[in-house]
Amino acid sequence: LGLKPVERRVDIAELEQLLQNGRLREAFGAGTAAMVAPIREIGINGRDYPVPVESDAYMFKAKALLEDMR
């Protein structure tokens, strides 16, 4: 995928700021049951923020790679 992963804590205030500024490009969950699934909305303090799911998202590329390994 050409990405360099970074693992770090992201607090709610930072996440909310990214959502408010339109800087969150995509979000997804990964696990053994669902494998990879997009997060389409995030709720913080009673407000729901839409999360973009573009057709060229990294989530779809990661999902395809994992499905190929099954």
Residue 69: φ, ψ to 5°: -80, -15
Query: pLDDT tens-digit profile of 1-16?
Result: 788 888 999 999 999 9
The residues, any chain, with a CB within 8 Å of residue 35's CB and separated by 6 or more, are 63, 66, 67
Per-residue pLDDT, 51: 96
What confidence category does residue 66 fall into, taking pLDDT thresholds of 50, 70 and 90?
A: confident
For the chain, what are the domain ranges?
12-69
Beta bridge partners of 35: 31
User: What three-state secondary structure class fits 58?
Assistant: helix
Query: pLDDT tens-digit profile of 39-56?
Result: 999 999 999 999 999 988
Q: Which two tokens stand for residue 28?
A: 């997804």
